[in-house]
Amino acid sequence: MAQATKQQLDAMAVADRLRPTLLGLARELRRERIAGVSPHQVSLLVSIKHSPGVTVGELAAEERVSTAAMSKRVTRLERDGLVARTPSETDRRCVGLTLTEEGQRALRRVRSRRTAWLATRLGALSREELAAVGAAVDSLARLLEGRRA
């Protein structure tokens, strides 16, 4: 077996330190219930925003839950005025989901609160630390290229 290169070892060391930090930040950003919308509901709203017309079955597969369980979650979002069910124009048997204006407003409020939370924490860093984090953002974003639609 070939020996790991110094760069591979360095990458493993950085990954070992970075992973729990990113997970912790993500957990903190999702933790708070904002404007009566739970973190799970936010996740569904984001999925619907990125895939307007997605079906309950498609969401269930994406979230790895039963269609019945997802249907209950979507019914709650619909009852709260956050999503609407819209018949497909090409197949009347299919019903797609879209965000309502209220659903869009809820996502904007969540994004604003999460950005403010993160900005507060970043504001506690030194100027040099903040510059280093800023420089790393583009590099980290490249890791996700091709992973999102």
Q: What is the residue-wise DSSP string for 58-86?
A: HHHHHHTS-HHHHHHHHHHHHHTTSEEEE
Length of the chain (residues): 149
Q: Write down the pTM of the prediction.
A: 0.76
Whether residue 80 is contained in a domain is answered as yes
For residue 14, tell me if it sits in a domain.
Answer: no
The whole-number pLDDT of residue 98 equals 96
Whether residue 18 is contained in a domain is answered as no
12: in domain: no
Residue 5 within any structural domain of the chain: no
Place of tokens 């498609």: 58
Q: What is the CATH number of the domain that holds 66?
A: 1.10.10.10
Range of the domain at 52: 34-143
The owner of tokens 């299919």 is 94
pLDDT (tens place) for every residue of the chain, 149 residues total? 456 677 676 888 989 999 999 999 989 888 877 767 888 899 999 999 999 999 999 999 999 999 999 999 999 999 999 999 998 788 878 899 999 999 999 999 999 999 999 999 999 999 999 999 999 998 888 888 866 54
Q: Per the structure, how many domains does the chain have?
A: 1
Rounded CA separation 119/114 (Å): 9
Does 11 reside within a domain?
no
